Structure 1
Amino acid sequence: MTDTQPEDWNAFVEQWNEQFLDAVETNMEAQAQFVESWAETVERTAEDEEMADGVEGYARAYEAWMDASRQMVERMNDVVEGEDVDVEEFRDIWLNTANEAFKEVMSTTAFARLTGETVGDVLELQQQADEAAENTLRTLGFATGNDVAEVGDRLVELERRQHAVEQKLDRVLDHLEEE
């Protein structure tokens, strides 16, 4: 049995090492993506105050990632010292850190401006696509959404007028019956 324990321990340590390396690699990839996207945002930022706010948000996010790295090293040291550490704890460290880092970035005016510009661009593209689709349908002789809405509006107006005429006719008939 003593022969299998070192093999089990070696397999256990190897598994932890692989998971730790995967976690570090994932962390580095996330940080690289974060830095890249943030650099693009900062490049587009025109105002000094907005840029300062953006840089501060990035700095807070970077601090969160560094804290997560420190926590990972501490927990790996605990594993090496023989403490039973759940693998999910490592995942939770990275997930919580990602949430915290993104919160730091998303609370900046630079992020808000960029998001607003993106939403504006998407709405403009959607409007252009809608107009192109409507022109195509009209060219092909099909009814467009606007055409159907117009017909619906006219139908409602006709029903309203018909109801008014019916009420007047009922009053006239009632008056004639009374005489």
Structure 2
Amino acid sequence: MSLKYAVLGVLDARSMTGYELSQFLDGSTGWLWAANHSQIYPLLGRMVEQGLVVGVDDARGEQRRTTYTLTDAGREDLLGWVAGIHPPGRDNDAFALQAVFLDMVPGSSAAQVLREYAHRQRAAADLARQHADQLAAGETPLIRERLQVRPTTEHEAITRLKATVFAGQAAVATARAEWAEAMLVALAEVGRLHMDA
């Protein structure tokens, strides 16, 4: 369900092809919501049927591209969702599940998992902080486009709110790294790091 609103929110800034949307929502970009091609295209088809977006075909030689644009109905749906209260979703955290069973493997294996997780979370925190700084300065391509279509009086609120979201993502990633590092300390304190040395 949230993917629908991620797509509507991105299309509110500018029209995009399905390919551009899937590139933007690619998990490697560090954005908030990840999706792949196989999720994007069927969703766009359903959204066209629902009147939330309109697709305009552009044939260039043998290549055919469809550019999707948010409709008034799509924007109304998006604004209703954004203004609504939503219960927190159940977080199926693969790492938490793995971590709860780390007592089953040798301490050195558990430590390797924890160190790698902490390293990746610190890298994610750095990426989120950089993105927050770029948003605050109005320097990402999508924020520049969004600012072009929104009144100047709203620019500070737009950039600060979006930057604060990514600063929060950085804080979450930092807390996760610290959590893994605390588990490493716990392993050392109970002697699990030395049992299999």
TM-score by length of 2: 0.30
Q: Give the greater-gyration-radius structure (CA).
A: 1
TM-score (norm 1): 0.32
More helix by share: 1
